[in-house]
Chain A
């Protein structure tokens, strides 16, 4: 195997890991704050892609603008969902949050399917990003390098914000002890709504990035949500670091699987998940107090 080829396959792994990381990140952010597993995460991902497509079709929004506009729009939509629906389930067992977001997935996906039809909608990468870049040791599609770069940037940004910044510390405090945080004057309701919006926005960003390379169809979130769940379990639910590392790592693992033994490549993530549960139930970076 030449260096050229090996390097390119590694980049493939990073590119698909980029999507996993972004999605797992969004899911962890939402869980960390709301204690809700957002089953609708895949649907929000799909909405991001569709927003990109419709933005281009109806309003001629260029791709670079869509990278900002679509996450904003879907983020706002997410916040609306949180305020009107999820807030009512707040005091209850988190399982109801999961069930509600499951119902929302059915609703969102089918509304889009009724509006846009079940087949894909066309979307291509902007010309400047099409084509390949010569990195010296390999030549690789520019667009995928762009995806890796954006995902890494956003991942690091969110990680820094949550783990290192003062505002992030306040958010974490509000998560761990909402009553006390409120006593200190923190508007926990607003924080929760914003967090859901941010999580939704990150999912939508992944959708924008996916639009040029994947079939923009109503079912596109369906396939990826189960992988996202597995990755979050592997990384440790609620752990930002865990989501990012597990996301990229499993993307790489999947690419290696595709090269050496394709039949296992899609099942690999679940097998790793089962192993992690047996050996280290809290996930690679999770804290064991997150048991329930």
Chain B
């Protein structure tokens, strides 16, 4: 951990603690959840070299499951979160087995296709998803006996969970597993020649990414009291990819910053009469980022420590 990283982490931590006071609490919850979603996407992209355009499958799938569990199991929030996360873990294992067979560009299109199957399934299974109307819960339920109806309370529980995830990701990337990932990223054929079962590593990475994304989705739907079809839409996958890259792929904190930027931008524009231009502005910023700003915000801030994935 470089000094710069520690400073960034400290600043972000302070901001995170103050956030519910600065913006509407639900927006703060959204920032955290999308941040974790983007970290999940970036695990695959920045650290595995695999661009997935279908992570919304786990975001939405877990989101729907969480709402269903709260609805059917007397508002047991902890159960909802655990079940939803477990669901994404299993789904990630299955989907990952199919997707990691092809790398690079193909991977993006395959994940997109599989997520679309999920989208169409969700429309059909109206008992579990409410179809195009989505599923709602009146109250969030209780978390180990505590009611998290207060948005700020929910935010801080989410913050704790997200912080734990970030810590775990940092540890994993710093471990031998992370070292092999780096080797694969730098020269896949050499890694294979050295005897590493590259596809296995990619598969495990995919499962990790899916699990984090699922957890994020569960927290998001519980925070917002509903799960809807937009959660499975490929545009949502695209948004998470943009957040990861804008914030800084190949860094762990970057995607969180990217999510804050994206959500902040949307929120800011929503207060003006120019809401029709939201996607246009996002597109323009992202284009600029891809053209000449590929390391993203955190990437630039922390440069000279984290290896760039590509120049």
Q: How far is the CA of A137 from the CA of B110 in the complex (A)?
A: 40
A232 to B102, CA, bound (A): 14
Given contacts A96-B290, A104-B287, A106-B280, contact A270 B114 (CB under 8 A): yes
- Counting CB contacts under 8 A, is A149 at the interface? no
How many A-B pairs have beta carbons closer than 8 Å: the answer is: 118
Please measure, in the bound complex, the distance between the C-alpha atom of A104 and the C-alpha atom of B98, giving whole angstroms: 29
If A274-B114, A274-B117 touch, does A94 touch B279 (CB 8 Å cutoff)? no
Which of A85-93, A126-134, A161-169 contacts the other chain? A85-93
**Residues of A contacting B284 with CB < 8 Å?**
103, 107
Task: Tell me which residues across on chain A come within 8 A of B306, comparing CB atoms.
Answer: none
Interface size on B, residues (CB 8 A): 43
User: Contact check: which of A109, A237, A270, A292 meets B116 at CB < 8 Å?
Assistant: A270
Q: Does B311 sit at the interface, judged by CB under 8 A?
A: yes
A89-B290, A278-B98 as given contacts; A232 in contact with B109, CB under 8 Å: yes
Q: When the two chains form their complex, are residues A110 and B283 in contact, meaning their CB atoms are under 8 A apart?
A: yes
* Known contacts A94-B104, A110-B277, A273-B110; A266 and B287 CB within 8 A of each other: no
Most buried by A among B245, B279, B283: B283
Main secondary structure of the interface of A (DSSP, over half): helix
CB-CB under 8 A for A230 and B117, given A100-B287, A106-B286, A277-B101:
no
Distance A31 CA – B93 CA, assembled complex (angstroms): 30
CA distance A105 to B286 in the complex (A): 11
**Contact of A99 with B105 at beta-carbon distance under 8 Å, contacts A107-B284, A110-B283 already known:** no
Contact residue among B101, B114, B280, B310 (Cβ-Cβ distance under 8 Å from A93): B310
Contact check, B105 vs A103: say whether CB atoms are below 8 A apart: no
Nearest B-chain residue to A266, judged by Cβ: B120
What residues of chain B lie closer than 8 Å to A106, measured between beta carbons?
Answer: 279-280, 282-283, 286
A222 to chain B, nearest CB (A): 8
The complex places the Cα of A187 from the Cα of B115 at a distance, in Å, of 41
Q: Is B238 an interface residue (CB 8 A)?
A: yes
Interface check A63, CB cutoff 8 A: no
Give how many A residues have a beta carbon under 8 Å from the other chain's beta carbons: 42
Identify which of residues 59-107 in chain A touch chain B, using a CB-to-CB cut-off of 8 Å.
85, 88-89, 92-96, 98-100, 102-107
Does B175 touch A at the CB level, under 8 Å?
A: no
Q: Is the CB of A96 within 8 A of B280?
A: no
B residues 92-145 touching A (CB-CB < 8 Å): 98, 101-106, 108-110, 112-114, 116-117, 120-121, 124
**B294 interface hit (Cβ, 8 Å):** yes
CB neighbours of B121 from chain A (8 A): 267
Contacts of B241 in A (CB 8 A): 99, 102
Q: B276 at the A/B interface (Cβ < 8 Å)?
A: yes
Most A CB within 10 A of own CB, among B49, B116, B188, B311 = B116
Instruction: Kindly report which residue of chain B lies nearest to residue A234, judged by CB atoms.
Output: B113
Contact residues in B for A266 (Cβ distance below 8 Å): 120
Q: What separation, in Å, do the CA atoms of A106 and B241 have in the docked complex?
A: 14
Contact sample, A vs B, 9 pairs, CB 8 Å cutoff: A37-B108, A85-B291, A92-B310, A99-B286, A103-B283, A103-B290, A106-B286, A229-B112, A274-B98
Task: List 17 additional contacts besides A110-B279, A277-B110; criterion CB under 8 Å.
Answer: A92-B294, A93-B309, A95-B45, A95-B51, A98-B51, A102-B238, A102-B241, A106-B279, A107-B280, A107-B283, A230-B113, A233-B109, A233-B110, A237-B105, A237-B106, A274-B113, A292-B188
5 smallest A-B Cβ distances: which pairs?
A106-B283, A110-B280, A103-B287, A229-B109, A107-B283
